[in-house]
Amino acid sequence: QVQLQESGPGLVKPSETLSLTCTVSGGSVTGSYWNWIRVPPGRGLEWIGYTHYSGNSKYNPSLKSRVTMSVDTSKNQFSLKLSSVTAADTADYFCARWESNQKAFDIWGQGTVVTVSP
Amino acid sequence: EIVLTQSPGTLSLSPGERATLSCRASQSVSSTYLTWYQQKPGQAPRLLIYGASSRAAGIPGRFSASGSGTDFTLTVSRLEPEDFAVYYCQQYDSSVLTFGGGTKVEIK
Q: What is the pLDDT of residues A53-107, one digit of tens each?
A: 998 999 999 999 999 999 999 999 999 999 999 999 999 999 999 999 999 999 9
In this prediction, residue A31 carries a pLDDT of 82
Q: What is the mean pLDDT of residues A107-112?
A: 97
pLDDT tens-digit readout, A13-52: 999 999 999 999 999 999 899 999 999 998 999 999 999 9
Q: Report the pLDDT value the prediction gives residue B93, as an integer from 0 to 100.
A: 85
Q: Is A74 on the interface with B (CB under 8 A)?
A: no
Residues in Cβ contact with A1 at an 8 Å cutoff, skipping those fewer than 6 apart: A26
Say how many Å lie between the first and final Cα of chain A, rounded. Answer: 39
Adjacency order of strands within the sheet including B4-7: B4-7, B19-29, B63-76
- Residues from chain B contacting residue A105 (CB–CB below 8 Å): 35, 37, 45, 47, 90
- Contact B47/A at CB under 8 A: yes
For residues B20, B43, A100 and B52, what is the CA-based torsion angle, rounded to 10 degrees? 0
Rounded Cα–Cα distance for residues B8 and A115 (Å): 30
Q: Does B87 touch chain A (CB under 8 A)?
A: no
DSSP string, B54-93: EEPTT--TTEEEEEEEEEEEEEESS--GGG-SEEEEEEE-
d(CA A1, CA B92): 26
The per-residue pLDDT for range B52-98, each reduced to its tens digit, is: 999 999 999 999 999 999 999 999 999 999 999 999 999 998 778 99
Give the three-state DSSP class for B2.
Answer: coil
Give A-chain residues touching B47 at CB under 8 angstroms: 102, 104-106
Residue A51 is predicted with a pLDDT of: 96
What share of chain B in percent tops pLDDT 70? 100
Q: Tell me: the pLDDT tens digits for B20-38?
A: 999 999 999 999 999 999 9
Determine contact: B99 vs chain A, CB below 8 A: yes
Q: Does the pLDDT at position B99 exceed 90?
A: yes
pLDDT of the residue at A109? 97
- Cα–Cα distance, A48 to A59 (Å, whole number): 6
